[in-house]
Structure 1
Amino acid sequence: MHSDPEFGDDKFTHARAVVAASEFNQAVLDTVADGIITISGDGRIRSFNKASERIFGYRASEVVGKNVALLMPQSYAMRHDRYLAAYAASGQSKVINERPELEGKRKSGDLFPIEVSVTEVSHAGEPIFVGVIRDITDRKRMDRMKAEFISTVSHELRTPLTSISGALSLMRSNALGGLPPKIEHLVEIALRNCTRLSALVNDLLDIEKLSSGKVTYQMEFWRVEKLVSDAVDDNIGFGETFDVKILAELNGSEHEIYVDRQRFLQILGNFISNAVKFSPKGNSVRLRVSYTNAAARILVIDQGSGIAKEKHDRLFKRFSQVDSSDIRKAGGTGLGLAITKELAEQMGGKTGFDSELGQGSTFWVEFPLVSRDKVAVLKPR
């Protein structure tokens, strides 16, 4: 039997190559640990890899051609088609190119936490959505266990620490009679370490509250430069213990931001504390405010040793230190910057820094400038 000369063997070779490539791609997709689902523009499932079968409990043949809302809880499924229609009309998406945490629904009906990444591609002129799904049930379980452990330990430590600290302070004050110099020195060391441990417990409790959404905010309008001045006054004594001056460089602006005063001062206090502890004796830490039409940025500038670029991505993470000796040298808990970032973001602000090794560091927090009649849009998250 001879092949049609009009088509030739090249056509059959090409067809076999296409089939082989398709089979190879499917084999690769089926070995991936994450679920990969392709979805047509009208929300119907086009493909469903092996990991998706394992995660959701369906075989591919049971879901291909059906609306992807099948894999969602009812509350989200009801909005899904409207969401796709709105996206088609506006091009605005809350999930495309993001990694939100949502809920999925297994074949059994059980709901479970998932992390989703959605990318849009075009095939034959039609939009195709590629969803990568990760089951984060185990991660969430571990997060809950960790949060419960931290909360329990923190509360169990706080009461005895308060008693110990009170007793040591009483001894140091000579209220119980004078102490021999050696004993007084030991009491001073014990009290200092008790204070450091109390700070760690308080930071742990703050992190737990922030993670569980238990932090409450008393949001009000405050003049930016008044807040900065208050932060300097609150921390001057701390600076003196390190022989570091804390200076405010202000220009009398009347601009206001909408924040919780105590939480805002906590943010600046964390920045100032770090700047002081890592500044050479005799130097100064400067606070400055810069404005744009939309925001006020408060900068805390030090003349310390700076931070190497390879360590920048660790700074705002929990229990992070620039160097393994930092806790011993400066008394840090590794939680201050993580708490600062969470507080700022939950009040509608953002944080960041600029630093080079040997050139000092500038840490900043930024909040939007808004008029009082637009305050409703700035409720804390």
Structure 2
Amino acid sequence: MDTPPEERFDRITRLATYLFGVDIALVSLVDEQRQWFKSRQGLALTQTCRQESFCAHAIQGEGIFEIEDASKDSRFTDNPLVTVSRGIRFYAGVPLNTSSGFRVGTLCIIDTSPRRLDDAQRQALIDLAACAEEEMNRSGLESELSRMRETRSRLAEDEKHQRLLVAALSSLNEISTSSDLSFAEQLQALLALGCRYLQMQIGIVSRIENDLFKVVSILAPQDVTLNAGQCLPLANTYCDMALTAGGFLAIHNAGQEPAQHHPCYTTFGLEAYIGNVVYVDQQLFGTVSFSSLIPRGAAFAETDKLFLKLLSRWIGASLERQRVDTLKNEFVSTISHELRTPLTAVSGGIKLVLGGATGELTDKTQQMLAMALKSSERLGMLINDLLDMEKLLAGQFSFVFQPHLLSALLTTSLQENQPYAIQYGVSLKLLPLPADRLIKIDALRFQQIMTNLLSNAAKFSMPGDEIVIYCDVCDESTRINVKDVGCGVPNEFRSRIFQKFSQADASDCRVKGGTGLGLSISKALTEKMGGDIGFTSREGEGSTFHVTFPWVKEENREIF
């Protein structure tokens, strides 16, 4: 298609107009979108869209496709080529076949007046079409059509790669936003995703320090002896070539490329490789790469390269966040420990003064000292929460797991938190519970969770409201619910509610009190004890926060 006119085809179409006395004769080629005219007589157009094409109908069958009067044929009555002034009325076309049997176009004759071919004319048109077909196949036009099919095949392959890339990026997003995976687990999941997408055997995130290549995370078959933490000379890795090449390198068959002399090929036998550099805080950190002991059949696609570059950017950004989080946690830990001792002394001193240790106080002085004590207690609560969070993150939180009666635990929760609720003018109500059901938890940590849930419910309720504690019981577990009829959780805040320092509004901590750590700590404690935590809420109607724990089996019913 789209080749210059050739006399051998023009000779046939001229002969057709003379033999049949028609206005137009064409040699047409049809693809998915259009019909294009290799030769044309009596027509200025070089192509039309396939949707309007008569020839697209002709190539659907064998033999002559003949329309005596298109204006009376329901298939063509509204066709623009028919409805225009002096539009098509008569059409007769014979399919042209490649040597491999594909119908790719027609030899056709067209007239603006209705007519009908007799048998002799039909045979003559078939004979002329045979001549055009022979010329087409002999002239190498078939090779042009073959290239067209290859182009279509490439486009289809590109479309396939695009679909796979979209799916891979969707998976990358799911992994990177998962709150259930640690950073190390995310790296492993991303390396597994990369190996699947790129069809490679080995995935590595490395750190480059001076002339050393250090493995940060690796996913590989069992017979690969390289492990996380292991170091290699940088010069013995393809990553060295990637750095020299500007940061990105793709090798689909090392045995047929300059890489065949590289130590990574001669020592480890890595036949295929694709890698890209990783930057953290605009400084070179290392690389993310995928390799295989088997050569690839084809070079890496552009979508493969795009995927790897996006992956390396995500890993770099995540490493930067991890670095900042580590610095922040170290800072918070240091400040918390440094403040705790002097704050204890301040609080103790205020209590002594309020208790009369320095003599009688005026009402104004008592009021000011009471405010100072309340502020110091609030600061102490923040420090305790920060230290709890630090211990949880460091895995230093100790738990004593024992079976406890659920009814006794929740009765204690009610009694301990009722005074706090009264401060806000709300009441706590415990609905009837199973009398003999046990859960295996750390009782102290369980009460810490319940205190967080009940204090939040009290703070965000109106005076006179009632907070209800009840259980949903099933065969394997129980869900403990804390239901309030307060203001509810804003929609835009729900995805962040269990994150550290999260509050629906910056003013909440001033108006309602709190550190923004309670729910984050509760989530961590619940999960450490083998449970789940969640909530449902409607703005303006209230919320129900719930924790779920499995029952203790009958054979383990020793009660503490």
Q: CA deviation at 1:40?
A: 8.6
Q: How does 1:208-219 map to 2 (within 5 A)?
A: 208-219=390-401
1:322 matches 2:512: no
1:12 matches 2:130: no
Q: CA deviation at 1:331?
A: 0.6
Distance 2:286 2:424 in 1: 48
Structure 2 counterpart of 1:248, one-letter code: L
1:304 matches 2:439: no
Which of these residues, 458, 468, 474, is aligned with residue 286 of structure 1? 468
Which residue of structure 1 aligns with residue 328 of structure 2? 146
Structure 2 counterpart of 1:272, one-letter code: L
Equivalent position SS for 2:194: strand
Deviation readout 1:197-250 (Å, 9 max, x if unpaired): 111111111111111111010000011111111111111111122222112112
Distance 2:371 2:148 in 1: 82
- Alignment CA distance shift 1:290-1:77 (3 Å): same
Q: CA deviation at 1:21?
A: 7.8
Which residue of structure 1 aligns with residue 338 of structure 2? 156
Per mean C-alpha deviation after superposition, the further-off stretch among 171-180 and 158-167 is: 171-180
Distance 1:80 1:264 in 2: 46
Which residue of structure 2 aligns with residue 370 of structure 1? 552
Structure 2 counterpart of 1:44, one-letter code: Q
TM-score, normalised to structure 2, is 0.50
Structure 1 counterpart of 2:201, one-letter code: R
Which residue of structure 2 aligns with residue 122 of structure 1? none
Structure 2 counterpart of 1:257, one-letter code: I
Q: CA deviation at 1:322?
A: 1.5
User: Which structure would you say has the larger RCO, counting Cα contacts within 8 Å and 6 or more residues apart?
Assistant: 1
- Alignment CA distance shift 1:345-1:171 (3 Å): same
Distance 1:192 1:295 in 2: 40
Given that 2:462 and 2:486 are in contact with CA atoms closer than 8 Å, whether structure 1 keeps it comes out as: yes
Distance 2:531 2:288 in 1: 25
What residue ranges of structure 1 are gaps of 5+ in the alignment?
59-69, 82-101, 117-129, 376-381
Which of these residues, 178, 194, 219, is aligned with residue 37 of structure 1? 194
1:249 matches 2:249: no
What residue ranges of structure 2 are gaps of 5+ in the alignment?
4-135, 173-189, 209-213, 238-284, 290-306
Q: CA deviation at 1:11?
A: 2.2
Identity across aligned pairs (percent)? 33
Q: CA deviation at 1:174?
A: 2.0
Per mean C-alpha deviation after superposition, the further-off stretch among 131-140 and 240-249 is: 131-140
1:334 matches 2:469: no
Which residue of structure 1 aligns with residue 440 of structure 2? 258
Distance 1:268 1:115 in 2: 44
Distance 1:373 1:114 in 2: 53
Equivalent position SS for 1:37: helix
Q: CA RMSD in A?
A: 4.0
Given that 2:207 and 2:286 are in contact with CA atoms closer than 8 Å, whether structure 1 keeps it comes out as: no
Which residue of structure 2 aligns with residue 167 of structure 1? 349
Structure 1 counterpart of 2:145, one-letter code: D
Deviation readout 1:114-142 (Å, 9 max, x if unpaired): 999xxxxxxxxxxxxx9956254333322
Distance 1:113 1:335 in 2: 35
Q: CA deviation at 1:146?
A: 1.6
Distance 1:161 1:280 in 2: 33
Structure 2 counterpart of 1:319, one-letter code: F
TM-score, normalised to structure 1, is 0.72
Q: CA deviation at 1:275?
A: 0.5
- Alignment CA distance shift 1:23-1:355 (3 Å): closer
Given that 1:275 and 1:302 are in contact with CA atoms closer than 8 Å, whether structure 2 keeps it comes out as: yes
Given that 2:207 and 2:215 are in contact with CA atoms closer than 8 Å, whether structure 1 keeps it comes out as: no
